[in-house]
Amino acid sequence: MKQITFHKSYNLILVRYSGEIWLKSMKVKMRMLKILIKNIQNMLEREKIPYTKYQITHDSARILFFFKYEFIEKAIKVISKAFGVHSLSAALRTSNRIKNISERAIELGDLIFEQDDSFALRVKRSGKHKFTSQDVAEKVGTIILDNFSHLNLKVNLSNPDKIIYIEVRNQFSYLFTDIIETKWEGLPIEYKKKIGVMDIGRLSDLFAGFLLMRRGCVIHPVLFNISNKEDSVNKRIRNWEKIYNYTPFSKFSLIIINLLPILDLLEEELEQKVYLCSLCRLIRYEIIAKLSEDFQTKIKSIKGFSDGLNFNNLNFCNDEIDLESISLNYLFSKHPIFTPLVGFDSERIQEEMNDISSNFNHIDYCKFKPKNQKFDLETVKKLYNSLKIKTLIQDALDKSEEYIIE
């Protein structure tokens, strides 16, 4: 996050919501703003950051959260992770009188101006006033030049050293020196939009779930263990703890299912081992479909599943087989499988994962790492139907574990 200049007069954070929310009808926009506000409240309360109140400006263009000065820096770090936020600014509020605006602008100038600086005022206005934005810029700018004449300030509108932003909205004005843009924007997470996340330990599986959160979905990760490494599951849990920071939840549930007994049996008894990856995929489809039908699980009523499929040949699983095997998902579920990373190259995946956190654990997630895998639709269907693993699948479901992140 960029270095922010704070002033002790700052008592609020001004939140600009995403362009996608802007484009909605007023009815839908207000519904989403209420959800976004509630999500921000939950995230602040989870981190034990007190706020005094919140408001939506009269023109519905900004969300305002009010804090004591000492909590603003930490609150900015939290709010910047809320999906649906475009940018935010630590700010102070005054009236819409130019005299008061000028006084507060001088306060900010005392904090930021240095000898021979150039500066600009960026003024926006909303509502009915007897002055224009240009009037505010000219009058306040003149007062700043007079007040800081000893610093030899110059006006530079195209490339200033320092900027003071002024937003006049109806009876109030908001002044600030920094705009912090968020990386993700997106839509606020809505509790009715449930998506299951199929995670076998690939970071791409985790990232696929994250991107669906960005689209406003509540995600329910299902961690399939296919590794014999003792610390594999714990490393994956620590990865999901980093994703938890972007959610508005007080708790975050992971379902952990051990596939090793089933896959050990397949490896031992399957003659056509070139189909092991395909069959492993179908086993996961069946298990997560059963979970979605079980009203005792947290992933009931889900709308679909996510998968970290991409075409960068970075995984133990063959990318083409991963793609082709999706065609058999219909055997188990009517839910779609979302593959948000299909169009991402490896550099983009790595870059955006680093934007989420630079400390993800890379997992040696597959015990088997089969080579020379194939996919033939009819052959895979026949093989799967011939497998005597129904009892093992039910056993894996019965022994599934729930891990709560909080």
Are the beta carbons of 377 and 330 closer than 8 angstroms? no
- Residue ranges for the chain with pLDDT beneath 50: none
Helix (H) or strand (E) holding 323: helix 319-325
Q: What is the pLDDT of residue 297?
A: 65
Q: What is the pLDDT of residue 298?
A: 64
Cross-strand pairs, 155: 119
Q: What is the pLDDT of residue 7?
A: 85
DSSP string, 125-161: EES--SS-HHHHHHHHHHHHHHHTGGGT-EE-SSS-S
Q: Tens digit of pLDDT for each residue in 333-381?
A: 999 999 999 999 999 999 999 999 999 999 999 998 888 899 999 999 9
What's 194-405's CATH class? alpha beta
- How far apart CA 224 and CA 202 sit, in angstroms, is 11
Q: What is the pLDDT of residue 295?
A: 58
Q: What is the pLDDT of residue 393?
A: 96
Query: Any idea where the domains of the chain sit in the sequence?
Result: 8-92, 99-122+132-167, 194-405
- How far apart CA 190 and CA 37 sit, in angstroms, is 12
- CATH topology (fold) of 8-92: Alpha-Beta Plaits (3.30.70)
Are the beta carbons of 302 and 296 closer than 8 angstroms? no
Are the beta carbons of 221 and 302 closer than 8 angstroms? no
- How far apart CA 233 and CA 235 sit, in angstroms, is 5
- How far apart CA 239 and CA 226 sit, in angstroms, is 17
